[in-house]
Amino acid sequence: MFRHMKFVMGWPMPGDKLKRSKKTGRFEEWSPLANPLFLQGVRIYVKATDVLLPMLQSMADAVELNSNEWHRLRLTASMLRDMSSNMASELVRQGERLILPPPTTFTTFNWGDPDDAEVLGECVRWHAAARDVQWFFKEMGVAGKPSTKQLKAVRDGDQDAAFATMAHMVCGVMDDLKDLLVDRLSKAQDGWYLNEVKKTALRLPMFGQSVSDGPQ
């Protein structure tokens, strides 16, 4: 789990001491009360937001999508951004120090309640959104890790290679995101939500694929 995190994350783990602040002269520590898995989730979501949104905005003219597909992709990106902001806000409320993305109007979900039906339903939708993002990039021929040739091309200023490399990284972040959500759903007593994720994972992801509202 979290196999791509070393590539995209550089933040300290809970309990690690940061460098001494030049302004205050003090060391700052992460709260020992923070849930490590929760912290990892915040890092994944915030990094996905940092990478994905600017990329989508720059792709508007370069990628031939019809208006409906483009609209759905932007909705997916907005969902990821709101999710990262909500989780980071909740962490700060618990006493952590984080640089937050811009605030949103969405309500912060109670991530800690393993059986909160609203949270579980959102997890299923987030999982589908992550698969949509991966499907989009893989349809463009991006799969696996960047090759040495691609990385060299990035250093040489090749914009196409840079896009492909960033797309690889986003797909990796989405894998980690899905793993985290599956782990979260597995803690619920009601197994319907986890089964829904497993069931939809067997189908080809498509933009706007509907997700049921909950157990019938």
29 strand-pairing partners:
17
> Is the pLDDT reported for residue 11 higher than 50?
no
In the chain, the N- to C-terminal Cα span, in Å, equals 31
Count of structural domains within the chain: 1
Establish if 12 belongs to a structural domain: no
Q: What is the pLDDT of residues 120-133, one digit of tens each?
A: 887 787 777 777 66
Q: Are 18 and 27 in contact (CB under 8 A)?
A: yes
In a domain, 6, yes or no: no
Q: Which of 15-19, 91-95, 125-129, 206-210 has the highest mean pLDDT?
A: 125-129
Give the domain range for residue 77.
35-201
Summarize pLDDT for 92-144 with one digit per residue, the tens.
565 555 444 343 333 344 455 678 787 788 778 777 777 766 766 666 565 55
Any idea which residue has 């690889």 for tokens? 168
Examine the pLDDT at 13 and tell me if it is beyond 50: no
**H helix count then E strand count, the chain:** 7, 0
Alpha-carbon gap, residue 33 to 161, rounded angstroms: 42
Considering the entire predicted model, what is its pTM? 0.47
When pLDDT is cut at 50, 70 and 90, the band that residue 23 belongs to is low
User: Is residue 53 domain-resident?
Assistant: yes
